[in-house]
Amino acid sequence: MSEVSELIAELHEGKMTLDAVASRFRARLWPRTGAPRPSSYLDLAEQAQADSHLEVPGSFEEVVSAYHDGLLTAEQYQVLAQAAADALRAEDQAG
């Protein structure tokens, strides 16, 4: 189980507060996901054939899955999405 899944589980079980999980989300490095932008029609065709939506462990995709599975409320999802976005922005500005 990844850190993200563990934090979501602890939030869902009431072992951690939303603020505590959001704080951890802001402090962590998030793996970048998504296929690179195709540079040719051949690249585009190859991407269409490949399964480009494999869930990356520890990525924000786990948060999306948890929300769709009912483990997070809309409010929790929104707070965690903002926290992850803050972390990504900070990483972009630092690097």
55: left (phi over 0), alpha (psi -120 to 50) or beta: beta
Residue 71 has pLDDT above 70, yes or no: yes
Please count the other Cβ atoms lying within 10 Å of the Cβ belonging to residue 24: 19
Nearest to 63 by CA among 53, 71, 52: 71
Q: Would the pTM of this model clear 0.75, i.e. be above it?
A: yes
What tens digit of pLDDT does each residue of 20-45 get? Answer: 999 999 999 999 876 566 567 676 55
